[in-house]
Amino acid sequence: MNMIEWILLIIVIAFFINRFMPVKGVTNLSVQETKDKFKDNHVQFIDVRTPSEYNSNHRKPFKNIPLSNLSNNVETLDKEKEVVVICQSGMRSARAAKMLKKQGFQKIYNVKGGMSAWI
């Protein structure tokens, strides 16, 4: 392999590592751990699925803010409160958690398995 091929390979590997590695400061929660947080008034619950996904199946107290709209609605959230993020499988909520971390949120939780894991 020549130098350019090595550089491209390194860039691709770095992209995948950055994309799929857990974000520091984001904790994964089980469904039961998420349910336990429902009692806490100092937690914000965000569902980042599309409105149609949310309307077909959601849990209170999750508020629907689709991932595509989250960056425009981040000012509606309190950076001092914990944030629990959910989607269908856990992938979009992981991206949302990463984005919230970059926006200065400190206590972020991602629901492992998303709504697919809900019992």
Question: Catalytic amino acids?
Answer: 87
The residues, any chain, with a CB within 8 Å of residue 74's CB and separated by 6 or more, are 99, 100, 103
Cα 3 from Cα 96, distance rounded (Å) = 35
Alpha helices by DSSP H, listed for 22-111, are 31-37, 51-56, 67-73, 91-102
